[in-house]
Structure 1
Amino acid sequence: MYRNRTQKSISKAKLNFYANKIRNLKSSDPSLWHRGIQLIANRVKGSPVINVPGISPMNNDGIANHINMNFAKITQSRPSIDINDLHAFLPAKTPCKIEEYVMYEQLCRINPYKSPGPDCIPNRIIKDFACELSIPLTDIFNTSLKDGVVPHIWKTLL
């Protein structure tokens, strides 16, 4: 019974929301109407309006600082971590090491008929040169795991 009531309330709220949005858009000028329809259809992302009491919605720095201070209060209320209490976890285990033959096997398993990634290197070439690529790729992966850093170029889209 409660589930049915809740679902009916949600459906009614959704209908009212869209009806009110469209009714308001029809009474406004065409450019606002078009922009509102685009927002409802998730075609254009509008900038979010964050209301913080006592701070103007146009003051982005003030809003960001207020949110930051609230998050900082949470962490400042907790006691700091004592490194001596972490002795059971230290020293950290060395990261796993990828072997060259495992890299070679994985490169050989690439489907040559799939489209290439953002580097535009065809999968057929990667598969054909798996033996030559396995050694440098293994070094890159192992160094990344050891240092705990992913190469910056892998984080950017080409």
Structure 2
Amino acid sequence: MALKTARAKLSQAIKEAKSTHTQRIHGLFQDSGDSWHMWQGIQAITNYKTTSPVCDSDASFQYVLNDFYAWFEVQNNVAVWKIIPTSNDQVLCLSMADVTRTLCRVNPWMSAGPDNIPDRVFREWAEQLADVFTDIFNISLSSAVVPTCLKTTTIVPMLKKSTVSCFNDYRPVSLTLIMMKCFKRLVMRHIKSQLPPSLDPLQFAYCPNHSTDDTITTTLHLAITHQGHIRMNAVH
């Protein structure tokens, strides 16, 4: 009787776990505009798993790969120039409350930038750091200059293929400063607030949960649909 009861409880727990898993997978496909969650659902259904590549044992490989990523800086001889805002232009001014709210919403799993400051520092000490960051952000907006030290990034190579044959098989991922990510989020939020409430349905820039993949997919869908209509009209 004890074994029978244990089997019944196990069977019931398995059914509940399957039902919960099914509901979670279905929830990933509820929002058609969220491509990231849709890809997660497709990977869960197809049991897609990535294999961890083996690191190269040659210590000089990192320097060769770094030179390959930095090749564009060697041939870049164009002087940097900026547009100085006139006195009539209304310069964006960020409030301390907005900066505090943005720092409190920092993703705790976000990778640190070149400064190696953990994201937990910005999240836990948001009220203490908001005053300083607000002054830095507003000075940068009023002078139309972003300090060079804030634009430094760390390039992390990610494999695009299972086997490596050349440097182009690596996809460079840029890790910027968390402070600059917050600054960008604040500016983009202000730009979004200035946009009209009704946008073109093919507008993907400054829209949440939209990316270049959505642009490519929509363009291909329109082209293939138009091509199908042309063929149907030709048949009739």
- TM-score normalised by length of structure 2: 0.28
Which structure's CA Rg is the greater one?
1
| Between structures 1 and 2, the one with greater strand share | 2
